[in-house]
Amino acid sequence: MANIQVSTKINGDTYEFLCRPDETLLEVLRDRIGLTGSKEGCASGDCGACSVMLGDRVVSSCLVLGAEVEGQEVNTIEGMADGGNLHPLQRNFIKFAALQCGFCTPGFLVAAKALLDKNPDPTETEIRYWLAGNLCRCTGYDKIVRAVLHTAEEMRGQARG
């Protein structure tokens, strides 16, 4: 299998990489670029641990081929904090103890941010449906939902100034 040359933007930086045609974006991110924040829980689109932004959509990077991101923009968990400043979602996940082992956390954060960017005032039901494709074996979800609700409220407060 001949490798394919791909040029793309990841977290605002330009990357060039070579990948096999059957290699997923998740494998490229983790094994070729060294961005290991996105996790592989299933490789079948069921767990959401590999969630990244592809353009303006949250997607499972295990269900995207590396070759497909030529000329596109990818944003991963590594781009969420602003330098040393955590994103409010990251801060509140810690504050509300919305993680235990942490394996699912990058995926939840990326997916939750996509929700708040689109809908700054989601109901609890909307949050639960939006995050239904992110699985967590530890927390029982409730603390995650509280953390997202609280972050939304906090960010709306800031937006009002």
Partner 1 sequence: MKYLAPTTIEGAVRLLSEASGSTRILAGGTDTIVQLNAEQIEPDLIVDIKRIGEIRGITNENGGFRIGAAVSCAEMTEHDGVRDLWPGCVEAAGLIGSTQVQGRATIAGNLCNGSPAADSVPAMVAAGAVVRIIGTDGSRDVAVEKIPVGPGKTSIGADEFVHSIFLPPRPERSGDAYLRFIPRTEMDIAVVGVGINLTMDASGVCTAARVALGAVAETVLLVEEAGDTLIGTHIDDAALDNLARAVSAACKPINDKRGTVEFRTRVAGVLAKRVAKIAAERARG
- Residues of this chain that interact with ligand FES (CB under 6 A) are 40-43, 45-50, 60, 62, 99-104, 136-139
First CA to last CA distance, the chain: 55
CA distances from 94 to 86, 113, 118, 135 (A): 10, 15, 23, 18
117 binds partner 1 (CB under 8 A): no
Among 33, 74, 80, 114, binds partner 1 (CB under 8 A): 114
Candidate segments 28-36, 88-96, 124-132, 153-161, binder of partner 1 by CB under 8 A: 124-132
57 binds partner 1 (CB under 8 A): yes
What is the rounded distance in angstroms from the CA atom of residue 127 to the CA atom of residue 65?
Answer: 28
Between 97 and 117, name the residue whose CB sits nearer to partner 1.
Answer: 117
Q: Residue 57: phi, psi to the nearest 5?
A: -115, 140
Between 24 and 105, name the residue whose CB sits nearer to partner 1.
Answer: 24
Between 5 and 31, name the residue whose CB sits nearer to ligand FES.
Answer: 31
What is the rounded distance in angstroms from the CA atom of residue 126 to the CA atom of residue 118?
Answer: 12
HSE of 94 in the Cβ direction (CA atoms, 13 Å)?
5
What is the rounded distance in angstroms from the CA atom of residue 78 to the CA atom of residue 76?
Answer: 5
Between 61 and 160, name the residue whose CB sits nearer to ligand FES.
Answer: 61
64 binds, among ligand FES, partner 1, none (CB under 5 to 8 A by kind): partner 1
Candidate segments 73-81, 82-90, 130-138, 141-149, binder of partner 1 by CB under 8 A: 130-138
